């Protein structure tokens, strides 16, 4: 996995294919997580630290993937992750998956997340993490609703 700007490049692996020889659909969800983590790392927010030091978690509330063209073994897939909505309580991301050789769109997806404490009680991120909230506001290109 390589991180470049606002996307990652994933080299597809044989073990990610299904019986038809194409990348199994479940891998796209894993790739979205990798791209999302890269997004946070790139703006200076360490999600692992937030979990370990503050017992704050970001569960998936919704996810979807629309498949356009099959990705196959030994292809390079560019995965772009963009924040499309953030209101201090929930955050939504959009993802696109492009074949690096042909530049064809293979799939696109979306996830929505909340913020909870270790007891799974929802928290208001913008109230508890003012510094990180400010970083998100200054570094993302999305609709921020206060």
Cβ neighbours around 98 below 10 Å, total: 22
Give the SS3 label for residue 5: coil
pLDDT value at position 5? 61
Catalytic residue from among 18, 41, 117, 127: 18
Instruction: Based on the residue annotation, tell me whether 18 is a catalytic residue of this protein.
Output: yes
The CATH number of the domain holding residue 118 is 3.10.129.10
Count of alpha carbons within 13 angstroms of residue 24, beta-carbon side: 10
* Contact between residue 78 and residue 98 where contact means Cβ atoms under 8 Å apart: yes
Closest by Cα among 38, 23, 137 to 77: 23
* Percent of the chain topping pLDDT 70: 91
Beta bridge pairs of residue 63? 111
Mean pLDDT across 17-42:
93
Residue carrying structure tokens 């003012």:
130
Sign of CA dihedral 88, 146, 136, 105: positive
Q: Residue 128's domain spans which residues?
A: 2-144
pLDDT per position as a tens digit, 72-122? 999 999 999 998 888 888 999 999 999 999 999 999 999 999 999 999 999
Q: How far is CA 50 from CA 39, 44, 99, 121, 129, in A?
A: 15, 12, 33, 16, 10
Q: Output the pTM of the full model.
A: 0.88
CB neighbour class for 131 (10 Å; exposed up to 12, middle 13-18, buried from 19)? exposed
Residue with token string 């990610």? 16
pLDDT in tens, 31-43: 999 999 999 988 8
- Give the count of domains, the chain: 1
The answer to whether residues 73 and 21 touch, using CB atoms and an 8 Å cutoff, is: yes
The predicted pLDDT at position 1 comes to 47
Mean pLDDT of 47-63: 92
Query: Is there a contact between 90 and 62 (Cβ–Cβ < 8 Å)?
Result: no
């Amino acid at each position: 996995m390589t991180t470049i700007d606002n996307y990652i490049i994933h080299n597809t692996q044989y073990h990610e294919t299904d019986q038809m020889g194409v990348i199994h659909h479940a891998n796209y969800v894993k790739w979205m997580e990798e791209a999302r983590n890269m997004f946070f790392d790139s703006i200076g927010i360490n999600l692992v630290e937030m979990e370990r030091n503050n017992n704050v978690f970001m569960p998936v509330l919704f996810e979807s993937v629309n498949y356009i063209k099959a990705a196959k073994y030994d292809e390079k897939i560019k995965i772009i992750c963009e924040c499309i909505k953030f209101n201090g309580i929930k955050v939504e991301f959009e993802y696109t998956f492009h074949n690096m050789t042909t530049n064809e769109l293979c799939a696109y997806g979306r996830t929505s997340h909340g913020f909870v404490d270790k007891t799974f009680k929802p928290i208001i991120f913008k109230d508890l993490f003012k510094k990180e909230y400010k970083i998100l506001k200054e570094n993302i290109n999305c609709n921020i609703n206060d």
